[in-house]
Amino acid sequence: MTDVLDQSQIDAYWKQGYMFVENAITPEQLQGLRRDYETWLDESRSHGEPYGRTLDNRPRFDLEVDHSPERPALRRVASPVEISDAYLDVMRNNRALDAVAQLIGPNVEFNNAKINSKQPGSATEVKWHQDFLFQPHSNDDLITVLFFVDEVTLENGPLEVVAGTHKGPLYDHWHDGVFTGAISSEVIAEQCGETTSVTGPAGSACLMNTRLLHGSAANLSDRSRTLFIGEYRAEDSKPLQVNHIPSLYMGEVVRGERTNRVRCSSYEMEFPEIPTGASFFGQQATVSTP
């Protein structure tokens, strides 16, 4: 395994709950991600509603409500690793994954992957949530890696995080009997006063603890903001529910080896709702909280 982090960076990750990694992928890999996304964006012009099929028979390509042939707003591609060699290669081979292996490895499995894209002027936003509330595991050693397919700026809807909240509680994502995939407005008022926007050049990545509170606002610029998002887990962290973005590659050991061990930590939460629509954007649309 290649060590890419020194001890001070490892300590900073566990203190803040996130980490920025520059040059997480090569320029050639970046070009491949861009090329395939542009092809899918172009294809989306000829669709008026979510389309394609994932392993669990949900639409693979999800469209924003303001999508049109003239201004396509393809906001989500579920499991692009199954339909693109470029995305599969990045999922398996990237510098951020070496950092993940140092933080929660040495043995690491792939959990799931998706693209979140905010086209200029589209309504797409991500409400405040914690990833773990969508995917309970026997322990919480999971890291989400968000690869910047475009440059991410303050104007184009960057990821916003609340540093240190991975050490706090798991907040309810069910409200009045509805799984909204988001925290309540009370928790937002209490916890999300001081946020950090994670910006940087295309090709970089943000590593995020699965318990960290995060969200992102709409893209107010004239440039797209596309992220390729991969989730990884310690190999001894076993899923307690079906994967909400299943793929042929879930559970693949991407660093280290298979040990056949399970490790449990102590926590409590309500199981999430398994989405029936194309993505969690539909679930989050059921609430008006930011």
Ligand X SMILES: O=C(O)CCC(=O)C(=O)O
Phi-psi region of 42 (alpha: psi -120 to 50; beta: other; left: phi over 0): alpha
Query: For ligand X, which is the closer residue by CB, 192 or 229?
Result: 229
CB contact at 8 A, 105 and 1: yes
Q: Give the CA dihedral 185, 283, 160, 45, nearest 10 degrees.
A: -140
Residue nearest to ligand X as judged by C-beta position: 216
* Alpha carbons 55 and 228: distance in angstroms, whole number: 19
Which residue is associated with the tokens 């003239």?
Answer: 70
Should residue 113 be labelled a site residue for ligand X when binding is judged by CB under 6 A? Answer: no
The answer to whether residue 224 forms part of the interface with ligand X (CB under 6 A) is: no
- Which residues are within 8 A (CB) of 252 and not within 5 positions of it... i.e. 6 or more apart? 92, 109, 110
Interaction of residue 135 with ligand X, rule CB under 6 A: no
Instruction: Compute the least distance from the CB of residue 197 to ligand X, in Å.
Output: 10
Q: Is 64 in the site for ligand X (CB under 6 A)?
A: no
133 binding ligand X? (CB under 6 A): no
CB of 28 to ligand X, least distance (A): 24
- Assigned token pair, 132: 């773990």
Q: Taking CB under 6 A as the rule, does residue 214 contact ligand X?
A: yes
Which residue, 32 or 181, is less far from ligand X as judged by CB?
181
Residue 183 binds ligand X, judged by CB under 6 A: no
By CB under 6 A, residue 131 contacts ligand X: yes
Tell whether residue 216 is a contact of ligand X (CB under 6 A). yes
Residue 162 near ligand X by CB under 6 A: no
CB of 165 to ligand X, least distance (A): 13
Q: How far is CA 235 from CA 18, 76, 135, 239, in A?
A: 20, 27, 15, 10
- For residue 48, the tally of other CB atoms under 10 A from its CB is 11
Q: Measured from the CB atom, is 131 or 140 closer to ligand X?
A: 131
Confirm if 204 and 99 have CB atoms less than 8 A apart.
no
97 belongs to the binding site for ligand X (CB under 6 A): no
Residues that bind ligand X (CB under 6 A): 116, 126, 131, 159, 214, 216, 227, 229
